[in-house]
Amino acid sequence: MVNTTIKTTKSQEIFAAAQNLMPGGVSSPVRAFKSVGGQPIVFDRVNGAYIWDVDGNKYIDYVGTWGPAICGHAHPEVISALHAALEKGTSFGAPSVLENVLAEMVIDAVPSIEIVRFVNSGTEACMAVLRLMRAFTNREKIIKFEGCYHGHADMFLVKAGSGVATLGLPDSPGVPKSATSSTLTAPYNDLEAVKALFEENRDQIAGVILEPVVGNAGFIPPDAGFLEGLRELTHEHGALLVFDEVMTGFRIAYGGAQEKFGITPDLTTMGKVIGGGLPVGAYGGRRDIMSMIAPAGPVYQAGTLSGNPLAMTAGIKTLELLQKPGTYEQLERITKKLADGLLKVAQETGHAACGSHISAMFGLFFTSGPVHNYEDAKKSDTTKFGRFHRGMLERGIYLAPSQFEAGFTSLAHTDEDIEQTLAAAKDVLSSL
Ligand SMILES: Cc1ncc(COP(=O)(O)O)c(C=O)c1O
């Protein structure tokens, strides 16, 4: 039995003060531990696969700042590139060669991207891509999938997965009906439902947007033929296919899920890894579509800090590190060890569970499954997940504080980290 008493006095003090300063004490809702109970841990620093809280406790981290930290936190080469970039200033608000370098790297890597626009977040990328979809097709309706999250813009806050689901908000107050009236939804992995929507809305659907591998309803991979089917249906109906690879980009494979599954969408949104831990987003795709973006074309989209030199620098260095031979083999090996191990431990300790992984993304649901979509995911025992989460935290393992979030590994996670995690999981699950 591991010592499970951790002291979190300072975390508690700081979070108590934060509650009076910021709504719910946080800058983004899923950080608030609402769905797992207890108080969030307040961080002091991160390095490699680890985080340290303000009370000095060390945790093995499987959140990775929600995805960007694929090379490990504060990688020395990223930090030193940032130091050098910092000397030249923090923002230009004008073109820099760094944008060209990162753009070329993204274009070379991601099959669908012929030309790219940098923004500051995944939300911004998805908002812009939606405007572009509508402008290019001259149609208003879009199809999204239940449990997929595409940022917090009004039009996407319909059955929007993780944060919204975790907080039990069906949609958000403040989103006008008119903003979502053109957003049609279907269950993930359900081609027939998508077909029906296309039939019912002939020549009205601008496109289909999805997480090609879902991370925001827990980890849900696409069924065989699903992505292919969407590609065919969108072609057939003159609609665009958009992969939201904010989470999967450079994580599922160097070229994202589109490389892994060999399906090329028309447009792609990105974020997280391409900013190496600094705020970034991007969208790109077919040149004929992207040429509609201002100032090349009439579709307006802009940003004071877009293409920020620090974000570009961290992104370039992160992608350089990912290009090294063996990177994705290592991510696959370590994540398989973790995901298979967690599932085995859960089953051996008598819990209904299912889970899987692809490359550096994984998930474990407390339901016997199989989980093909968000409805299936919701059958999970979230109370049990909350207790599991707390138990793991007390044993120095930091998991995303929601059953409906994918987990992330990094190049910094070692075999010993995984073994320690599995030992902790065994200990916790034996006592639940
Ligand atoms: C698939 C996906 N799209 C969009 C977003 C929004 O990105 P951001 O939080 O950078 O605005 C996220 C965030 O987690 C995401 O996972």
Question: How many angstroms separate the first and last alpha carbons of the chain?
Answer: 14
Q: What is the DSSP letter of 42?
A: P
Quick check: do 6-61+324-428 and 74-321 share a fold? no
> How many residues in total does the chain contain?
432
Residue with tokens 């003159």: 238
Q: Could you tell me which residues come within 8 angstroms of residue 329 by beta carbon, excluding any fewer than 6 positions away?
A: none
Cβ of 216 less than 6 Å from ligand 1: yes
Tell me the CA–centroid distance for residue 299 and ligand 1, in Å: 22
pLDDT at residue 158, rounded to an integer: 82
Cβ of 356 less than 6 Å from ligand 1: no
Measured CA angle at 246 (ends 185, 95), to 5 deg: 125
Residue with tokens 């500051």: 120
Which residues are paired to 251 by β-bridges? none
pLDDT at residue 313, rounded to an integer: 98
Phi first, then psi: give them for residue 375, nearest 5 degrees.
Answer: -60, -45
Atom of ligand 1 nearest to the CA of 121: 10
Name the catalytic one among 141, 144, 272, 384: 272
From CA 322, how far away is CA 388, in angstroms rounded? 32
Instruction: Give buried/exposed letters for 399-408 (b at 16+ CB in 10 A, else e).
Output: bbbbbbbbbb
What the block records as the tokens of 399 is 């998991």
Name the catalytic one among 149, 254, 283, 374: 149
pLDDT at residue 38, rounded to an integer: 87
Cβ of 48 less than 6 Å from ligand 1: no
Tell me the CA–centroid distance for residue 3 and ligand 1, in Å: 36
pLDDT at residue 168, rounded to an integer: 45
Name the catalytic one among 53, 190, 244, 376: 244
Cβ of 126 less than 6 Å from ligand 1: yes
Q: Is the C-alpha dihedral spanning 157, 161, 164, 165 positive or negative?
A: positive
From CA 260, how far away is CA 228, in angstroms rounded? 13
CB-based contact 82:310 (threshold 8 Å) = yes
Is 244 known to be catalytic?
yes
Topology given in CATH for the domain delimited by 6-61+324-428: Aspartate Aminotransferase, domain 1 (3.90.1150)
Tell me the CA–centroid distance for residue 197 and ligand 1, in Å: 25
CB-based contact 143:186 (threshold 8 Å) = yes
Q: Is the C-alpha dihedral spanning 110, 116, 119, 124 positive or negative?
A: negative
Could you give the strand order of the β-sheet that contains 205-210, starting from the edge strand earlier in sequence?
A: 115-119, 281-285, 267-271, 240-244, 205-210, 141-145, 183-186
From CA 88, how far away is CA 309, in angstroms rounded? 9
Q: Could you tell me which residues come within 8 angstroms of residue 309 by beta carbon, excluding any fewer than 6 positions away?
A: 85, 88, 89, 90, 91, 92, 96, 98
Is 59 known to be catalytic?
no
Could you give the strand order of the β-sheet that contains 354-358, starting from the edge strand earlier in sequence?
A: 354-358, 361-365, 407-408
Mutate to test the pocket of ligand 1, among 129, 149, 269 (most ligand atoms within 8 A of CB): 149
Cβ of 245 less than 6 Å from ligand 1: no
Residue with CA at minimum distance from ligand 1 atom 3: 150
Phi first, then psi: give them for residue 378, nearest 5 degrees.
Answer: -70, -10
Boundaries of every domain in the chain:
6-61+324-428, 74-321
What the block records as the tokens of 223 is 């069924």
pLDDT at residue 178, rounded to an integer: 85
CATH number of 74-321: 3.40.640.10
From CA 299, how far away is CA 135, in angstroms rounded? 7
Is 149 known to be catalytic?
yes
Tell me the CA–centroid distance for residue 256 and ligand 1, in Å: 15
Cβ of 150 less than 6 Å from ligand 1: yes
Cβ of 180 less than 6 Å from ligand 1: no
0.85 surpassed by pTM: yes
pLDDT at residue 163, rounded to an integer: 61
From CA 136, how far away is CA 232, in angstroms rounded? 19
CB-based contact 127:179 (threshold 8 Å) = no
Residue with CA at minimum distance from ligand 1 atom 7: 122
Atom of ligand 1 nearest to the CA of 281: 10
Q: Is the C-alpha dihedral spanning 388, 393, 396, 401 positive or negative?
A: positive
Residue 163 host element (H or E): helix 162-166
User: Residue-wise pLDDT tens for the chain (432 aa)?
Assistant: 444 578 999 999 999 999 999 999 999 998 989 889 889 999 999 999 999 999 999 999 999 999 999 999 999 999 999 999 999 999 999 999 999 999 999 999 999 999 999 999 999 999 999 999 999 999 999 999 999 999 999 999 887 766 655 554 446 888 888 888 899 999 999 999 999 999 999 999 999 999 999 999 999 999 999 999 999 999 999 999 999 999 999 999 999 999 999 999 999 999 999 999 999 999 999 999 999 999 999 999 999 999 999 999 999 999 999 999 999 999 999 999 999 999 999 999 999 999 999 999 999 999 999 999 999 999 999 999 999 999 999 999 999 999 999 999 999 999 999 999 999 999 999 999
164: closest CA among 273, 318, 28? Answer: 28
Measured N-to-C along each axis, helices 327-348 and 309-322 cross at an angle, to the nearest 10 degrees, of: 80
Cβ of 362 less than 6 Å from ligand 1: no
Atom of ligand 1 nearest to the CA of 244: 1
What the block records as the tokens of 193 is 């439902």
